[in-house]
Amino acid sequence: MNAALGTAGVTLGLAGAVLGVVVLAVGLNRRRRALASGQEAAGAEALLHLGRPFAWLVLAGAVLATVAMEIALVTHDFSLTYVAENGSRATPLLYTVASLWAALEGSIILWALVLAGFLAAVAHRFRHQASDPLVAWATLTMLAVAVFFFALMLAPANPFTTVAGAVPADGPGPNPLLQNHPLMAIHPPLLYLGYVGFTVPFAFAVAALVTGRLDEGWLAATRRWALAAWGFLTVGIVLGAWWSYEVLGWGGFWAWDPVENASFLPWLTGTAYIHSVMVQQRRGMLRVWNLSLLLATFSLTILGTFLTRSGVLDSVHSFTESPIGPWLLSFFGVVVAVILGLIAWRGDRLRAPGRIDSPVSREGAFLANNVVFAAFAFVVLLGTVFPLVVEALNGERLSVGTPYFNRMTTPLGLALLFLMAVAPALPWRKASGELLRTRLQWPAWGGAGAVAGAVLLGARGLAPLLAFGLGGFAAAGALRQLALSVRAARRRGASVVAGLVGRSSGGMIVHLGVVLVAVAFAAASAYLTGEEVRLVPGQSATVAGHTVTYQGMNPPAETPQKTVFSARVQIDGAGVYEPALNRFPNATQTIGTPSVRTTLTDDVYLTLVAMPEEPGDPALIGVLVQPLVAWLWIGGGVMALGTLLALWPGERRRRVPASPAASPAEERPAGEVDDADDAGGDVPAPAVVGS
């Protein structure tokens, strides 16, 4: 029953996507021919308006498939192979619902659902411009991507296959690591919203190439979509780091694991894109580069999915392997080939007039930002696939791990912090020395103060000190911009909040979040102290100034899901924390649950390494002390807040512009002409809407 319902959903979605592609292609072709021969194109345009019903059809199919799988999971319908392999009667409801993304086939359903959601949202948002070829081509591109993912569900990764033979009475449940923390319920969906969200700007980029409308219209139309996708991806990555910190039990939050890298790569190119796009909106330059960054972002999500789901790379996250590898690789190849072909074909129109006058300018800083982000992405990609390449070339097996990534990316990260500090103060076109001295003086003192303060507090080591100093510099620079923006808002009689809303202020708040994350990352990695201590009940040990006292074991707590053996450990004579080992009925290895005392200054991370044989015997307890870890999560939250503020329609958007050419310059604060918001992005672009 559920299998039939699910298969019906997948088939419906696939049919809707295929038919949508065909109808839109026919409509676009007829419209082109009609216009070429000077006839009425109304009939063809009616076809283009059918894109929206087809998008809704695809969404209906995806929802049906999702609902069918969720019903099967929640009602323990073990006749479905997926449920038989990933469900169990003992699993709590939350994790049962989240089992949809605990393994590959279910993840593809989620992917298709999110994609269909974005497709329907685009079709709805641009419903009045459906006959615009740009919108039609973008919809067609998204439908084509949907065809691929729905086809995956019918052939190589079918989630609705039924078990052969007798239906089992119970299943093993999801991988124990995936039912150990509630973050599991939200981290993957957010990550997918980010991954899949970049399909929207990608589709518009393809549409711009195909239609030859390579002006800034498509950029303005997709600015918020790209920003929202970036925000989801950011939060997804931060929550993933948090999950691994709370669950994996080694006290780390980032391991340069292939799956982490796979999510980080599109983030790097996506971040480069949302910066360089401003150069194109402002100056009309970097067209090929922006298209390439979007292509890279979209195809890296596909490549990342291939690398991590096909089993070619070892990853702590490879919970499943499956035969979809060749499919994903082929799709990746097709996407790259199509875009490169389109860019080559449109090469003449992509040549933008204009030049960058000085490297010491806003656009110069964006260029530098892009070079560093591209290098960063290159290092991460190279390090991730290098073992594969070497093994293919000469059969040698080598690993590229954390030491490599840390050594290579530290200078790049520091360079980005420096740019983050300087770039917002730079004017477009050209900066004079005098101007830089005025604008950078207080931020620079912020940086110097951060270094001096850190040294006084006992921080040592060149790399972390540089991170703190440049972080302080960047944070002070961002605060200065925010203060100017708030002052300007007050002067024109608006509220303080109005000064914090919009792309420019939102961006500065994101910068503050990045600084928090960078400083926390540097401090936590550079100054961690770890020890394993063997303690009998009542005995204490001191690690990095914190006293831990082992009080004894709790009686084993048995639930149908698992048996929990937890120790009682007191930290600094105050709170009692209970690191535990969990034994799941269907797993051989015990899974640890760390217990963490978090404060704003440092985290004490406790793990139960080995249980005592007898109640009075010593237990082996891992104690890890890391400074500032909490600021990683706070910084992630600040980045999310900044993204929201940047997405919020600013005043300029709500105010109906008198004419498309209404000058945004009038609202710029005096003396800070070039610091004001890049209003170009907030002005609705009539070019997209019309034609």
Rounded to a whole number of angstroms, the minimum distance from the CB of residue 382 to other proteins is 6
The DSSP secondary structure of 638-683, one letter per residue, reads HHHHHHHHHHS--HHHHSPPSSTT--GGGGSPTT-GGGS--GGGTS
Phi, psi of 621 (to 5 degrees): -120, 130
At its nearest, how many Å lie between other proteins and the CB of residue 383? Answer: 6
Rank residues 71 and 390 by Cβ distance to other proteins and give the closer one. Answer: 390
Reduced to 3 states, what is the DSSP secondary structure of residue 319?
coil
Distances (CA, A) of 416 to 268, 312, 482, 502: 12, 32, 20, 23
Alpha carbon distance 245, 370 (integer Å)? 30
- Residue number, 341 or 401, with CB nearest to other proteins: 401
Closest approach, Cβ 450 to other proteins, in A, equals 9
DSSP letters for 486-508: HHHHHHTT--HHHHH-SHHHHHH
Closer residue to other proteins, CB minimum distance, 30 or 317: 317
* DSSP code, position 424: G
| Residue 536 beta carbon to other proteins: minimum distance, rounded to whole angstroms | 21
Minimum Å distance from CB 60 to other proteins?
Answer: 38
Residue type, 504: S
Nearer to other proteins among residue 355 and residue 655 (C-beta): 355
Q: Check: CB of residue 271 under 8 Å from CB of residue 230.
A: yes
User: Which residues are within 8 A (CB) of 31 and not within 5 positions of it... i.e. 6 or more apart?
Assistant: 41, 44, 45, 48, 131, 133
Nearer to other proteins, 399 or 598 (CB): 399
Q: Cβ 527 to other proteins, closest distance in Å?
A: 11
For other proteins, the closer of residues 246 and 257 by Cβ is: 257
Shortest Cβ 258–other proteins spacing (Å) = 6
Closer to other proteins at the Cβ: 51 or 249?
249
Q: Which residues pair with 623 in a beta bridge?
A: 531, 606
CA–CA separation, 379 vs 93, rounded Å?
41
Query: Which residue lies nearer to other proteins by CB, 2 or 370?
Result: 370
**Which CB sits closer to other proteins, 531 or 672?**
531
| For other proteins, the closer CB: 171 or 413 | 413
**Using an 8 Å Cβ cutoff, are 53 and 136 in contact?**
no
Q: Looking at beta carbons only, is 118 or 373 nearer to other proteins?
A: 373
Question: Least distance (Å) from other proteins to the CB of residue 468?
Answer: 9
- The CA R_g of the chain, rounded to the nearest whole Å, is 27
Best CA proximity match to 346, nearest among 200, 201, 202, 215: 215
Closest CA to 569 of 595, 591, 542, 599: 595
Distance separating alpha carbons of residues 267 and 258, to the nearest angstrom: 14
Q: How far is the CB of 469 from other proteins (least distance, A)?
A: 7
Cβ-based nearer residue to other proteins, 118 or 584: 584
HEC sequence for 81-149: HHHHHHCCCCCCHHHHHHHHHCCHHHHHHHHHHHHHHHHHHHHHHCHHHCCCHHHHHHHHHHHHHHHHH
In the complex, the smallest distance separating the C-beta of residue 459 from other proteins, rounded to whole angstroms, is 6
Considering the complex, what minimum distance in angstroms separates the CB of residue 365 from other proteins? 12
CA dist 672 and 689 (Å) reads 32
* Residue among 664, 661, 674, 667 at smallest CA distance from 429: 674
- Do residues 241 and 632 make contact, with C-beta atoms less than 8 angstroms apart? yes
Binding site for other proteins (CB under 8 A): 248-250, 252, 255, 257-258, 313-318, 355-359, 367-368, 371, 374-375, 378-379, 382-383, 386, 390, 393-394, 396-404, 408, 437, 441, 444-445, 447-449, 451-452, 454-455, 459-462, 465-466, 469, 530-531, 589, 592, 609, 659, 661, 663, 666
State in angstroms the smallest separation of the CB of 411 from other proteins. Answer: 10
